[in-house]
Amino acid sequence: MNDDMTPLSETVDGYRASAPAALQQALERVAHETPEQAAEALAKADAEALREAAQERATYRRRRYEDARPKAYAFACYDHLLPQQDPGGRGRGWLASGHKNALLVGPSGHGKTHLAYTIGNDAVARGLWVEAWSVSELLQALSPLPTHARFDEARSRRQELIGDAVKECELLILDDLGVEVGSGYVADRNIETLSDVLTARDSNPDCRTVITLNGPPTADLPAEEERQRVKAEAANSIANRYGARLATRLQNDMVGIWIEGECFRRPATWNPFS
């Protein structure tokens, strides 16, 4: 051995002496711990890393929901609902009930979306993973990429992540089913896309879905039997438009909530010159 070389033990001792106090303590602990203690320390470090990753993932998912949620519903809660928006308390009790699906139906502008996001806000407050989309926007996000973008890895990856999220999240809000525009090939593709999403969710017991759908007004109909017939036709319009495969997925453990009363939107017709 070269006389000028410092023995390894002296080098290690010198490094320990010059290291910060915290590092010195760590080196001493590692030097004297048994294999069992080393394994326990490694498992503890892994568990802590997993906890931090889970917290980061939960924060990211919450921000995704908050970014997708319309600002008008940022503070939507059960206590602010009018009786017409939660008939019989069926919306308030749905999340805790364990039912898999909820179908909110009624005339446009009567509070369906408000109730949907009230349920969504409650779910997020409980720590659940919630995704919220209008059906039109979701179908656009999952539609085939244009030719010039098919080799864009970032766009392809984003589309893949969206598809996975809506199939796997604990609560999915789909707003305005039936409003999306499409005919021929586009309509068939939309049906296939929605059916794939709902089929994946139907097979997972942890996945629940809230859907809003426009229906005709029934308040002026004279007989309850007639009102129930119109409501049933509104629900059955899903099967008529999207087919039995999609409709049967929604019917699994579903709660239907008909929302009708005062319209919260401005009237569609008016005279601005009077």
Q: Domain for residue 209, yes or no?
A: yes
CATH of the domain at 243: 3.40.50.300
H or E segment and range at residue 151 = none
pLDDT at residue number 197: 97
Q: Count of alpha carbons within 13 Å of 27, Cβ hemisphere only?
A: 13
**pLDDT tens digits, residue range 18-71?**
667 766 676 666 667 777 777 777 777 777 778 888 899 999 999 999 999 999
CA gap 164, 63 in Å, rounded:
17
Burial label for 24, CB within 10 Å (0-12, 13-18, 19+), is: middle
34 falls within a domain: no
Give the integer Cα–Cα distance in Å for 139 and 186: 10
Residue 143 belongs to some domain of the structure? yes
Which pLDDT tens digit goes with each residue over 161-178?
999 999 999 999 999 999
pLDDT along the chain (274 residues), means of 10: 55 62 67 75 77 91 96 96 92 94 94 97 97 96 83 88 97 94 86 96 96 93 91 92 91 93 75 74
Q: How many residues can be counted in the chain?
A: 274
Determine, yes or no, domain membership for 73: yes
Quick one: which of 219, 255, 204 has its CA closest to 96?
Answer: 255
| Residue 3, domain member (yes or no) | no
Residue 161 lies in a domain: yes
Q: pTM of the prediction? A: 0.81
Domain holding 247, by residue range, is 69-258
In a domain? residue 54: no
Residue 29 lies in a domain: no
Q: What is the total count of domains within the chain?
A: 1
